[in-house]
Every structure is written in structure tokens, then in C-alpha cells.
């Protein structure tokens, strides 16, 4: 039986090193550790594809945590079934779970469903927070550039202070700062 390892982080600026060290400590040699720096909800992962090609009957795949293999319950079950059909065991080190045997498969199915539910809860809370922020008038995205020429034209027309700030959708402080800069440049 050969041991293989799989490590994944969601973004390219995160490090795989902690996972790789844990896999080595569990007995996986460096050349048999496959990794990806991409979201777990995407099955099109180069490291995962390479791993699936390399493993053979009787091998075992070690992964630090359940959510490192995938985020979606259906995808997780599909991957585990793929390995199971090849008679390849999957072991999750931190969770103390392995897919060898009926009890192991049942636990993995339940835990992956819980992981997906938690992800959906996080997305729901994030969207609720965004909606609440929008209702409070908080703007998202890049800052709007102030049309200085338009602001100065309005000011020449006699629009001042708060009225000018509202018309330009900027703060009064920004209005006064631009007017002060303009006076400094002219004078």
C-alpha cells in the first residue's frame, strides 16, 4: 500500500505548507503529495486530477481535513465513490475519519453535508450583511472619481456647501477641500 497526500487552499496567496508538513508527518513522501490553490467547489483541479491518475488499487489518500477535498456534498461523495471503486482508501487526518468500511463512508457523507450547510450559512450571512449595509447607504465597489470641472461650474453658478455636496454625491469636506485646492492653484 502506497500513501498519497492531497492539500488544497482556496486562494493563491494562502500557504499549503502546514498541510504538506502534516501529510509528511503521517508518512507521505514529498513526491506523492498533490496540491491545488483553488476553490474546493471546482472539481477541475490539476493537482486532484493528477492524484486520481496516479493512485492504484490498495493505495490510500491522506488529506488533512474534510473540506480540503471539496466543499459540495455531491462532489465529495462522487470523489469518495471514485476512490472506493478503485479500492483506494481516503483518510482525513484532523477529523480522524477514513472511508474504509461502511461506517466511515456514512460519517464522511454526513460531515460533507454539514460542511456544505455551513458554507451556505456563511454566504447567507454575508449577503444579509451586504443588504443591510446598502440599506444604510454604504456604497460598494471602487470610489467614484469626482468631476472637479463640474463641481467648479456648479460653484460658479452659486451652488455652495451642503447643496453642492449633495448634487455631486460627495461629502462637504470633499467640496471644501477641492475649492481650497482650486483657490491655492489660482492665487
**pLDDT computed for residue 85 by the predictor:** 85
In a domain, 101, yes or no: yes
How far apart, in Å, are the Cα atoms of 163 and each of 137, 155, 158?
A: 18, 10, 10
DSSP state of 140: -
| Domain boundaries, position 160 | 148-186
Pair (16, 84) in one structural domain:
yes
User: pLDDT by residue (tens digit) across 105-146?
Assistant: 787 778 778 778 888 888 999 999 999 988 998 877 767 688
- Known catalytic residues are 10
32 with 113, same domain: the answer is: yes
Are 84 and 153 contained in the same domain? no
Residue at 172 is within a domain: yes
Q: Which of 79, 104, 122 is the last residue of a domain?
A: 122
- pLDDT value for 24: 97
> Is residue 131 in a domain?
no
- The answer on 155 and 91 residing in a single domain is no
Tell me which range, 38-52, 75-89, 93-107, 151-165, is most confidently predicted by mean pLDDT. Answer: 151-165
Residue 11 shares a structural domain with residue 58: yes
Question: Whole-angstrom Cα distance, residue 61 to residue 54?
Answer: 11
Q: How confident is the model at residue 93, as a pLDDT? A: 94
pLDDT of residue 21: 96
Asked if pLDDT for residue 99 goes beyond 80, the answer is yes
109, 156: one domain: no
Strand boundaries in the chain, DSSP class E: 3-9, 33-37, 60-63, 89-92, 97-98
Same domain, 159 and 117: no
Looking at the fold, whether 12 and 88 belong to one and the same domain comes out as yes
Residues contacting 19, CB < 8 A, separation 6+: 7, 8, 9, 35, 64, 68
Mean pLDDT of 143-164: 89
- Both 27 and 68 in one domain: the answer is yes
Answer whether residue 171 shows pLDDT above 80: yes
Instruction: Check pLDDT > 70 for residue 177.
Output: yes
What is the number of domains present in the chain? 2
Structure confidence by residue, pLDDT tens digits, 30-63: 999 999 998 767 778 999 999 999 999 999 999 9
Average pLDDT on 57-84 reads: 87
In a domain, 142, yes or no: no
For residues 37 and 9, the answer to whether their CB atoms sit within 8 Å is: yes
Q: Are residues 169 and 108 in the same domain?
A: no
Q: What is the pLDDT of residue 187?
A: 62
Let me know: does 98 contact 89? Beta carbons within 8 Å: yes
Q: Can you give the CATH number for the domain in which 105 is found?
A: 3.40.50.1390
pLDDT of residue 5 exceeding 80? yes
Please write the tens of the pLDDT for every residue from 6-25: 999 988 888 999 999 999 99
The H or E element spanning position 113 is helix 102-135
Coil, strand or helix at 5: strand
Task: Answer yes or no: is 154 within a domain.
Answer: yes
Give the residue from 6, 18, 147 showing the smallest Cα distance to 90.
6
Residues 153, 115 share a domain: no
- Domain assignment present for 141: no
Amino acid at each position: 500500500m502506497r500513501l498519497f497526500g492531497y492539500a488544497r487552499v482556496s486562494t493563491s496567496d494562502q500557504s499549503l505548507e502546514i498541510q504538506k508538513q502534516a501529510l509528511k508527518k503521517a508518512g507521505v513522501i514529498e513526491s506523492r503529495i498533490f496540491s491545488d490553490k483553488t476553490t474546493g467547489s471546482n472539481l477541475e483541479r490539476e493537482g486532484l486530477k493528477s492524484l486520481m491518475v496516479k493512485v492504484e488499487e490498495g493505495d490510500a489518500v491522506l488529506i488533512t481535513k474534510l473540506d480540503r477535498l471539496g466543499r459540495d456534498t455531491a462532489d465529495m461523495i462522487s470523489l469518495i465513490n471514485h476512490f472506493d471503486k478503485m479500492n483506494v482508501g481516503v483518510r482525513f487526518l484532523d477529523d480522524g475519519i477514513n472511508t474504509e468500511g461502511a461506517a466511515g463512508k456514512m460519517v464522511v457523507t454526513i460531515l460533507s453535508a454539514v460542511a456544505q450547510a455551513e458554507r451556505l450559512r456563511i454566504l447567507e450571512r454575508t449577503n444579509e450583511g451586504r443588504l443591510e449595509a446598502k440599506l444604510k447607504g454604504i456604497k460598494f465597489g471602487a470610489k467614484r472619481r469626482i468631476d472637479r470641472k463640474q463641481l467648479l461650474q456648479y460653484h460658479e453658478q452659486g451652488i455652495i456647501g451642503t447643496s453642492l455636496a449633495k448634487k455631486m454625491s460627495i461629502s462637504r469636506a470633499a467640496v471644501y477641500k477641492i475649492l481650497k485646492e482650486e483657490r491655492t492653484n489660482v492665487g
